[in-house]
Structure 1
């Protein structure tokens, strides 16, 4: 009995002891998930605001696509735009409510309810991502976010990531604080891409239907509203079946959004998607493309110039250029037809060219072409501004003979020696195209016949430092000068045309320029010009011009092909030979480049011809085509002179004339060289020959005047007293540099160790 009681008491004690709590695993899981969710949300918010801090700033100009820059010619006539098509901006008041409803219905039905970000839509897009549907992150974008994408980001895959989406959302939230729904919708409708190079639905209406938005039907507006999703495939002219499906989807969305009735939807769906389409838009685009093709090189330079000036090219700027469109068309035809020039076709490479036309008086770039037979390219290679090819002997007036007249007062009859010669300080011989030596000749003869050795001798006499200053005052932008540059350096046709324009303009240089004024969309006009600067004395410009006339008109000149009967012009040719490592790979008469640069008082024209890949098959010029540069020049200058006055240059009072061997030669007044002075430095003269200065120089000049045949006694008198009209020029003209000092400078330079650049070491250019 006692045992049973004891057993019962144990059972009772066990029952009376408290039971351990049950493990609530389910509640723990829920709490853990909730905690993770909160942490995830906080982390997401932290990441969102982190990305938001680096979001770009958006200005109204980024949102308002008022149109690409419009280009006008020299007479303020509209030519084209810098975009692929003219853009028509439509204000909100002129956008039909039907189009607004269509856009909102298909793109963002809750547009008028959210504040830039639609959280319901984002949630739906997230679910779509989990299900693997096509909604993805794009599906969460509101119209405002799409506008941000168009204005700041892009539709490329690289911009479809969490960072960009966060920044889009942040910017969209801020936009909604500063702009009304009506403004945002206006921005979007004018900014979306509509295919065929068209931006904005207003422009698309003109392109596809030849009408304004307000004149389109429900069916047509529904199609425009649906096209931005895939402009290429929803083009009604190319893919009418796809376009029909997309339009009907928009109409269905409009009905679901209760902005049209069922009967309106049904009636619009029955209309053929091709109804109302016109070819006028495509014709306009074709005309636009043709104009841009003719202008391509010029437009490319204008575009780059505008960007440098700080314009963004999308604000509808009106850009007034210096282009002469008639001249540009003629230049294009000269380059791309056989009407004016017969171009070779070697079946391996296309014969190429680059041409610049500059107004001699102002520096305005009147026309330019960067190549021929270039195909359908936009902003293609502009060979007119290439600086990778040598300008060969067109450099001689700029770096050799111009400085010799400017600083050493050389007369045109200054004698130079065309004998065996090496670049100073080297063992590299200078050669001419014919590998001959013609002995002593005048500076005029050397320039007319384009002899290389006399040119380098002139550069040596002047000194590289002064020659560099002279050349850079003419826009050559040479960082260094070596003696080989005396017969060519890497400069463009535009630079050469600008420099030669200074010779034509009495020594005043205008940097070539394309744009004369720009008017922005807010009506602010900024004017541009090129201020003329005196780059040389009038005497230098006139004497160079007088010698360069002979290059074209003399029977021994190298540019006789460029001659135009009755036209007063001056010019210089240039051909660049192959370097030694390529000579055995091309014919003996092969050259790399052929130039012709010349000018009248009105225009300066520089032409480069050659092949892009000169060291590859079919990349060389020869005697059969190296004069094509002259033919191009002649055809262009002949056209220009038809509409310009034809007058000769007037000799300034600082230039005197004298007869030498029956030829009328020129000299700088006050520096009439005697026969011994003129021949100083030639092979036949004494090495110690030098020019005297002071009273003895005056006496020598006086005696030489009496023994030589001067043009007139009055001119002889004026030679001792006349001065340039410019006081500064008069002062510089009257200061004479003695030949002795220049010779010593040349000697000191000759002792310097210098090796000409590789691409000109073997130049044997002489034409």
Structure 2
């Protein structure tokens, strides 16, 4: 070496030494600066995984999950060895050798990293060990900067000193993202294969191991080709590192992609009830979806299943009665044209089109491949081909209007054509044509004594429509409101034996005379209140309202928890029409007052709210009925004690009855955590008892006779149908369960001339109560003191309040057509009859 070269070499050595020292000093300075800002590795021993909100039935059955991340943690011992080997092989082959930073990988990737820095692209994921990735996923997020990379290195070194390799692997496998909201390998296995990680074969495990590098692009739903290529790369790395044999590699790489999206389907799902619960908590708990809360509810899983099945079955039955509306969608006509020319290729296209149709828990979407007079061939989402015969489509009379259907089909191809996308249902071993109903419905069931909500169905299918008709659909109650008019009459001195005239009534309106009528357009003459209720006679109910006064009626309705601000101030109040709107939940609560003997309970559904540590944050037990008080002297009705005395119709027309006063809510206070107080009566318990007895007659000999199929003596209730059957109801109960069913369209439409409360919602109620009352013995409320049971005309016995017991022959409240020789009941004193022509039908105030 020449002398001239030595200074040059010395210069290189000096420069290198300076650069090395500078680098060491820079790293030391960075360490000193960043280390205090880096989380402690000890915290990784208690990592709180982002766990969704889980809502459970009272028996512990899972009803729903809410959260952006689906996480199902596994212990390291439960993770298959093949999956651990696959993860280590593809992500960090020297995982068991390094201490958090893989210097060999860093040197190999240094040129690429330097290029990224020079171009301003930051650092990619190169050279990241499993420990560094764990630090990133738990602490630093997805930003790509040099500072973040250096922090990862520092924290990785700390983690390796604090945790064992097995602990690091367990945490990593449980927190990394796998796409489609799945975090952790177990959630990924259930998302893409519909089974547990321990049930997967080598090909499936390798595919999952390849996803975390790019969870959005590499998952088998978004990028099936990339997922397959990545799987084969994982298998190659496993073979190169001796984790699998040559034969295993050859066999596994030949396997096709079998992953598909498995949305979680809970066997006890109750989406409407769960959403009702969620809405009560979300404002109070901002971390509700991530902190691992568990809500234990009052929902009974067995009854919830029955409610869901009854509502769906009833709505589908209505839909079939009104005919087949045709295919839900059509394949592209270019695909239809190729069905016979290139069947294999077009079948796959047809299957893909079917997969795009909204899923349904029971109705399978299918595309018609071929159809003739005898049968049709269809393909469903999973690729299976099925056949429908004439027997399977014979119900499908064409829909003409809400009141008319066409002729029954004689050939299959009259109903189905190639290219149609339809719904089918599996019944036993065969498939049958179906369709999604347009009609909606709701069912609410609660315990009358406590207010516990036992079951709730807010519509046909939550995945199609999230609007909860059970709690949000405020609709006209129709004749279902009549019992409350009659209860107000009893509170104002009338009796079940009081007679009113069922005859034509003409009331002046704002523009023209108003002529209310009965649903059957018939008149029955003098009619007792009991008979008028079980026969649902409109004209008698209107006369009752005119008699007792609308102000008294509205005041009394507050005792049942009704939102009276929507109530009409005219004769529509008597028949649940006009501006009156009530939700099914409110109706169930109101009828529970009759079921429990006069007490207004508060519907509730949250029993316990547990945080991730198992601490109970809410223990909500509102006041309940204490039946041991039934033997005491009957309480005075608090809503009637201060009310204006009953007035004649002429006086009432001038608005003498006040509509303000103490509502039922004034009598209910929140119970302390851990216990519940006893409720005071909201209405006179004697009146509740009489109304319960009258409502039993609706079942025994009135509009709800179909409920006799349940073969019980303790059932009571009332049908309800509004004008043009836009809303149909059945509100019924036993002393143990109060259940309301509503059926109608979300937007007001008539259901049809042959649809009534007795034909549409009542069968749903029966189907549900058949399950709900199975094994529940009949029970009858104790008769309160202060009631008298006397014989009335016709040899029947009737209940009277002690202070309203007739002393002489009764006097009808109508002057014309009364037959006071037959009736042995009525008001204690004659009620004067006024000319009703001065009362406006459009405004009683």
TM more than 0.5: yes
| 2:293 aligned residue | 317
Mapped contact 1:100–1:185 kept (Cα < 8 A): no
Alignment of 1:338-417 (within 5 A): 343-348=320-325, 350-372=438-460, 374=461, 377=463, 380-398=466-484, 400-406=485-491, 408-417=492-501
Instruction: Tell whether 2:760 aligns with 1:628.
Output: yes
Let me know the Cα RMSD of the aligned residues. Answer: 5.8
Partner of 2:416 in structure 1?
none
Max Rg structure: 1
Give the structure 2 partner of residue 701 of structure 1.
none
8 Å Cα contact 2:100-2:132 kept in structure 1: no
State how far apart, in whole Å, the 1-side matches of 2:130 and 2:557 are: 58
**Residue 610 of structure 1 is aligned with which of 726, 744, 758?**
744
- String of CA shifts for 1:653-692, please: whole Å, max 9, x gaps: 2221222222322221222246688634x34499xxxxxx
Pairing 1:570–2:570 present:
no
3-state secondary structure, aligned to 1:598: strand
For residues 296 and 733 of structure 2, the distance between their equivalents in structure 1, rounded to whole angstroms, comes to 25
Partner of 2:282: 307
Give the corresponding residue for 1:500.
591
Structure 1 Cα separation of the partners of residues 229 and 257 of structure 2? 21
Match of 2:615 in 1: 524
Deviation at 1:542, TM superposition (A): 0.7
Instruction: List aligned pairs for 1:526-565, cutoff 5 A.
Output: 526-532=618-624, 533=679, 534-554=681-701, 557-564=702-709, 565=711
What SS does the corresponding residue of 1:202 show, helix, strand or coil?
helix
Shift, 1:403, TM fit: 2.7
Residue of structure 2 equivalent to 1:672: 805
Distance 1:611 1:147, change over 3 A: farther
Structure 2: runs of 5 or more not aligned: 1-42, 326-436, 625-678
SS at match of 2:773: helix
Alignment match, 2:562: 476
Q: Is 2:486–2:544's contact at 8 Å kept on the other side of the alignment?
A: yes
Cα distance in 2, alignment partners of residues 561 and 90 from structure 1: 53
Alpha-carbon deviation of 1:570?
Answer: 1.1
The structure with the largest helix share of the pair is 1
Change (3 A) 1:620 1:222: closer
Cα pair distance change 1:475/1:187, threshold 3 Å:
farther
Describe the shift of the 1:540–1:90 C-alpha distance in structure 2 as closer, same or farther (beyond 3 A). same
Q: Distance in 2 between matches of 1:165 and 1:737?
A: 88
Matches of 2:110 and 2:543, distance apart in 1: 79
Give me the whole-angstrom Cα distance separating, in 1, the residues matched to 2:721 and 2:824. Answer: 37
- 1:296 aligned residue: 271
- CA-CA distance at 1:575 after TM superposition: 0.6
1:94 shift after superposition: 8.1
Residues in 2 aligned to 1:474 and 1:614: alpha-carbon distance in whole angstroms: 26
Partners of 1:415 and 1:442 within 8 A in 2: yes
Which secondary structure state, in structure 2, belongs to the residue aligned with residue 572 of structure 1?
A: strand
- Measured at CA, do residues 755 and 459 of structure 1 come closer, stay the same or move farther in structure 2, by a change above 3 Å? closer
Q: TM-score w.r.t. structure 1 length? A: 0.63
**Cα deviation 1:389-422 (Å, max 9, x = unaligned):** 2121111223x2223333x243212333444154
5+ residue gaps, structure 1: 1-58, 156-163, 578-589, 687-703, 711-735, 757-767
Whether the 8 Å contact between 1:357 and 1:497 is mirrored in structure 2 is yes
TM norm structure 2: 0.58
Q: CA deviation at 1:450?
A: 1.7
Instruction: Give the one of 780, 786, 789 matched to 1:654.
Output: 786
CA distance in 1, matches of 2:802, 2:609: 46
Cα distance in 2 between the residues matched to 1:572 and 1:194: 53
Question: Given that residues 416 and 679 in structure 1 are in contact (C-alpha distance below 8 angstroms), is that contact kept between their aligned partners in structure 2?
Answer: yes
The match for 1:24 is none
Q: Contact 2:203–2:253 (CA<8 Å) still a contact in 1?
A: no
**CA, structure 1 residues 359+131, in 2 after alignment: closer, same or farther (shift >3 Å)?**
same
| Kept after mapping to 1: 8 A contact 2:92/2:129 | no
Residue matched to 2:575 = 487
Q: SS at 1:499's partner residue?
A: helix
Following the alignment from structure 1 to structure 2, what is the Cα–Cα distance between the partners of residues 340 and 221?
Answer: 42
Does residue 69 of the first structure (1) align with residue 53 of the second (2)?
A: yes
CA separation of 1:335 and 1:205: change in aligned 2, threshold 3 A: closer
- Describe the superposition over 1:5-55 as per-residue Cα deviations: whole angstroms up to 9, x where unpaired: xxxxxxxxxxxxxxxxxxxxxxxxxxxxxxxxxxxxxxxxxxxxxxxxxxx
